[in-house]
Amino acid sequence: MVTITTAVTITMIVTMFAFYFGQHLGRNEKVETLVDSMLTRLEKDGYIKTKKNEQGEVELIPIKDLTNGL
């Protein structure tokens, strides 16, 4: 049988591991890289349409603009 002290210790270790793992995965640079590659892939495969704005950022084109309001 697992004692309460052992259970609490294991829970604390797992919680700390999950926190630091989430911090590592949640870094802004990695999220931007993931989103950029996902949008590039979706555009290449024909699932979305994009255009560049004046600042050079990629914007999604709304469906109503593609279908002429139909």
Confidence of residue 70 (pLDDT cuts 50, 70, 90): low
What is the per-residue pLDDT for 7?
A: 93
Q: What is the Cα–Cα distance from 4 to 6, expressed in whole angstroms?
A: 5
Strand bridging mode 58-60 / 50-52: antiparallel
Q: What is the pTM of this model?
A: 0.50
Q: Per residue in 24-67, pLDDT tens?
A: 776 766 778 888 899 899 989 988 888 888 998 888 888 777 77
The residue-averaged pLDDT of 8-34 equals 85
Secondary structure class of 60 (helix, strand, coil) = strand
**H/E run at residue 52:** strand 50-52
